[in-house]
Copies of this chain bind each other. A is one copy, B any other.
């Protein structure tokens, strides 16, 4: 449908993508976001359904799952696109409290938008993610995620592609992702949960106090390539994992959930890549957060205070 919000086209400096030659990575300069909505009171939430006298981003009295263009985008067409996904019209809910049916609808929204945005000529990679919690800088509490269409392959994804390529060269017939997942299933000590189609484990070299990777057992490059049964069974596993996160310290966990997907259109890369969800919390203890300070932000060396096997054990024991 046409966007009825009357976004202020053209009054901002458009976002810019700049290349950092010292490390060979793109950086996005997006000045107009400085004015974005910042922790509004609950009765002014722009992601609630519209009600008489209070029009919001969503021109409807209620909704299931809704996707729209971000009013304060870091990337704008034709150089990319930023969308918001509202998981529910219930302001007080969270992803962890969604029903499995609703989680399935969110999965379908991710699939649909990955397909639609992936078909745009400017898109190299589609990124679905959720930031949850004021502790990581979330500016709107309403349960929602975001979808970015990047016009470049992101640095983290490029690293994975390079590693998968090198691995394939060193291990003819082998696949990096398959072998990592198989090793975690073999070891078992870091597995948090699994079902017929997915496994959730704390990675052997976890960066974050509580970090879980959720891989499909049958490797596919992105969400649209998942089978129907895999799409169906993701929600129940993910809800279980999120509820364990919230149970760790007896209060809602601040977390980032990041869908790793293969770049679009590059058949060679897609044949080797495995989509997966990375979900991690910055809370390392009750009342203590993990900060990215000098070693992480300066040198890219993560220091994790929690042994991964111990993190997995604590997540398994929740509930």
Interface of A with B (CB < 8 Å)? Answer: 13, 16, 18-31, 33-34, 38, 74, 127, 129-131, 136-138, 146, 148, 150, 154-157, 159-160, 162-163, 166-167, 176-177, 180, 203-207, 256-258, 260, 278, 280, 284-285, 288-295, 297-308, 310
Partner of A136, one of B25, B136, B156, B291: B291
- When C-beta atoms are compared, the residue in chain B nearest to A207 turns out to be B27
Q: A275 to chain B: closest CB distance in Å?
A: 13
Q: A219 to chain B: closest CB distance in Å?
A: 13
- When C-beta atoms are compared, the residue in chain B nearest to A279 turns out to be B298
- When C-beta atoms are compared, the residue in chain B nearest to A23 turns out to be B159
Q: Determine whether the beta carbon of B295 is less than 8 Å from that of A74.
A: yes
Q: A17 to chain B: closest CB distance in Å?
A: 9
Rounded to whole angstroms, the CA-CA distance of A280 and B293 in the bound complex is 11
* B residues near A308, Cβ cutoff 8 Å: 18, 29
Q: Determine whether the beta carbon of A256 is less than 8 Å from that of B293.
A: yes
- When C-beta atoms are compared, the residue in chain B nearest to A301 turns out to be B154
Q: A293 to chain B: closest CB distance in Å?
A: 4
Interface of A, secondary structure class, is mixed
Rounded to whole angstroms, the CA-CA distance of A130 and B16 in the bound complex is 31
Q: Determine whether the beta carbon of A298 is less than 8 Å from that of B176.
A: no
* Chain copies in complex: 2
Q: Determine whether the beta carbon of A34 is less than 8 Å from that of B163.
A: no
- When C-beta atoms are compared, the residue in chain B nearest to A125 turns out to be B299
* B residues near A203, Cβ cutoff 8 Å: 20, 22
Partner of A299, one of B13, B127, B177: B127
Give 18 CB contacts A-B under 8 Å: A19-B205, A20-B204, A22-B160, A22-B163, A22-B177, A26-B301, A31-B307, A31-B310, A33-B303, A33-B305, A74-B303, A129-B294, A137-B289, A154-B300, A155-B299, A155-B301, A257-B294, A258-B294
Q: A200 to chain B: closest CB distance in Å?
A: 16
Q: Determine whether the beta carbon of B29 is less than 8 Å from that of A256.
A: no
- When C-beta atoms are compared, the residue in chain B nearest to A278 turns out to be B298
* B residues near A21, Cβ cutoff 8 Å: 163, 167, 176, 180, 205
* B residues near A163, Cβ cutoff 8 Å: 21-24
Rounded to whole angstroms, the CA-CA distance of A138 and B292 in the bound complex is 11
Rounded to whole angstroms, the CA-CA distance of A18 and B309 in the bound complex is 13
Q: A155 to chain B: closest CB distance in Å?
A: 4
* B residues near A146, Cβ cutoff 8 Å: 294
Q: Determine whether the beta carbon of A284 is less than 8 Å from that of B34.
A: yes
Q: Determine whether the beta carbon of B256 is less than 8 Å from that of A297.
A: yes
* B residues near A301, Cβ cutoff 8 Å: 26-28, 150, 154-155
* B residues near A297, Cβ cutoff 8 Å: 256, 258, 280, 292
Q: Determine whether the beta carbon of B148 is less than 8 Å from that of A305.
A: no
Rounded to whole angstroms, the CA-CA distance of A285 and B36 in the bound complex is 12
Q: A126 to chain B: closest CB distance in Å?
A: 11
